[in-house]
Amino acid sequence: MRILNAAQMREADRHTVEEIGIPSLVLMENAGRQVVAAMEAAYEARLDGRVGVLCGRGSNGGDGFVVARTLMQRGVDAAVFVIGSVADVRGDARTNLDILGRLGVTVVEIGDEQTWELHFSEISQCTLIVDAVFGTGLKSALGGMMETVVADINASGIPIVSIDLPSGMSADTPHLVGDCVDASMTVTLAAPKLPLVLPPGEAHAGDVVIADIGIPPDVLEGLEGPHIDLLTPEQVRALVEPRAPESHKGDFGRVTIVAGSRGKTGAAYLAAAGALRSGAGLVTVATPASCLPIVASMAPEFMTEPLAEARNGTVVAAAVDAVFELQHDVIACGPGLGRGPAVAEFVRALVDRSTVPLVLDADALTALADDPSGLAGREERDLIITPHPGEMARLVGASVDEVQANRIQVAADFAATHRLYVVLKGHRTIVVTPERHVFINPTGNAGMATGGTGDVLTGMIAAWLAQLLDAEAACRLAVFLHGAAGDLAEGSEGQVAMTATDLVAHLGDALNQLTGRDKESAS
């Protein structure tokens, strides 16, 4: 699902009105009615009281006028306020304001702070507030009376339904440009916007409802500019095809996982478990020889391969030859691999010589942090990296705070420069292609902030890549299912008690939930 910035939203409106021929008044009517439908679904009991509708002078205010009219037509008591001068209301918004007037509805003009103070006592008695003051056009911080309006309604304790964006947010950045409305629900029009799906903006959006107002999907997909998508179940579900009855293990890919070192054998197991639970036909764990008995004892389903090692139990450079002697469709490398010059030399040789797709994580990325120039995808071999913010910071020579403040830009620049796929982990994990196509994952929770969950994801991506033979698709599906399994684990274990092993245990449930198999079994 396409995520739009302000310019893209304006262009989508313009194209729909001028080139397709759907009148802008129809879009505004659709928007207002969709907002009311969302309010009825979420706040039915509160509609028995009085709804305060705060409207601006532009299109967002026009949506609010439609909301007020629709509520009144359905027997809901609504009080309508224009924040600013009524004389400044123009275009379609004016048309809908005039309709209210002809219906005998009193619209209160609030042009200064004194008038606001006079009427806020009335607003504070409402059971629900509609924020229709600013939409996607805001670029700078609110000032003057609007600061008081936002502060007062936020402090009122009354649920607030914002239209398109909470007033005070900018559609062009997830960061707050100033004070904004703390919405209980945001009904965003046609497509989501960045501050509704990424921190810190998302914390002020409440429940987000995406309203279809009549802009054709082809228009949204064809817009120029940044291509950022929100992953949805519908989008990734199509990637999972039923297995043919005559299938055999060779049909679902061979994955080699190069992982583990003395004291870090669990990382190798978790990566292998993620690959097995994601459907890989054959999984081999290549690990230092002294670690092999421990890794092999953890599960009978994967094979093992001993690698030459140093005294400290980490791989040495010469071990790369043993890896290339194995049969595989995908190699994943890094979880628990350890650090040191020999490990770095091993990783560089693996990246340089591999002719099959690679998934690099954890210590493999740290090994290349001093000189990431060797990290490059090739036409004959895709490369996927799965850094957490600290690993990403080391790769780009920045601080973790700088990476977190510009996650999309940092990941997109690195992906494009190195011609590889970046899976930047964390809250709202993002997937970026070499062409700068960005996908934001909505699944997952804070309980996944525990050791080993990233190792599981590495194995999952490798397994799906071996099956789908499509790096972008493998990243999208694995990331979505990884978070979905974490959400299911949260339901059974809670966030605090959740472990990476719990996540692995719910991967099958997550896949069944995605494909609808859980409903079939329930019936």
List of domains in the chain: 2-226 (3.40.50.10260), 248-515 (3.40.1190.20)
Query: What mean pLDDT comes out for the span 402-411?
Result: 96
pLDDT of the residue at 137 = 79
352 vs 272: CA distance, rounded Å: 23
Strand-pair category, 421-424 with 383-385:
parallel
Please report the pLDDT score of residue 135 as a whole number: 86
Q: What is the pLDDT of residue 435?
A: 96
* pLDDT in the model for residue 520: 61
The pLDDT value given to residue 517: 74
Q: What is the mean pLDDT of residues 16-36?
A: 98
Which pLDDT belongs to residue 379? 86
pLDDT, one tens digit per residue, over 284-299 is: 999 999 999 999 999 9
* Alpha carbons 150 and 167: distance in angstroms, whole number: 8
Instruction: Supply the pLDDT for residue 507.
Output: 98
Evaluate if residue 380 carries a pLDDT over 90: no
Is pTM, for the whole model, over 0.85?
Answer: yes
pLDDT-based confidence at residue 518 (cuts at 50, 70, 90): low
Q: What proportion of the chain, given as a percentage, has pLDDT over 70?
A: 99
Q: What's the mean pLDDT in 44-53?
A: 97
452 pLDDT higher than 90 = yes
Residue 400's pLDDT band, with cuts at 50, 70 and 90, is: very high
Higher-confidence residue: 100 or 380?
Answer: 100
Task: Return the pLDDT at 522.
Answer: 57
pLDDT computed for residue 374 by the predictor: 87
Query: How confident is the model at residue 139, as a pLDDT?
Result: 85
Whether the CB-CB separation of 488 and 480 falls below 8 Å is answered with no
DSSP-assigned states of every residue in 417-430? HHTSEEEE-STT-E
Taking Cα atoms as reference points, which of 439, 440, 443, 459 lies closest to residue 500? 459
The mean pLDDT value for 114-130 works out to 96
What does the pLDDT read at residue 119?
Answer: 95
What rounded mean pLDDT belongs to the chain? 96
For the segment 193-225, what is each residue's pLDDT rounded down to a tens digit? 999 999 999 999 999 999 999 999 999 999 999
The band of 519, judged by pLDDT with boundaries at 50, 70 and 90, is low
pLDDT digits (tens, 9 = 90+) for 225-244: 999 999 999 999 999 999 99
Q: What is d(CA 405, CA 425) in angstroms, rounded to the nearest whole number?
A: 14
pLDDT in tens, 327-358: 999 999 999 999 999 999 999 999 999 999 99
> Token pair for residue 490?
């949260």
Cβ atoms within 10 Å, residue 41: 10
What Rg do the C-alpha atoms of the chain give, in angstroms?
27
> Which element (helix H / strand E) includes 385?
strand 383-385
CA distances from 494 to 107, 389, 453 (A): 48, 25, 15
The residue written with tokens 């409305």 in the block is 181
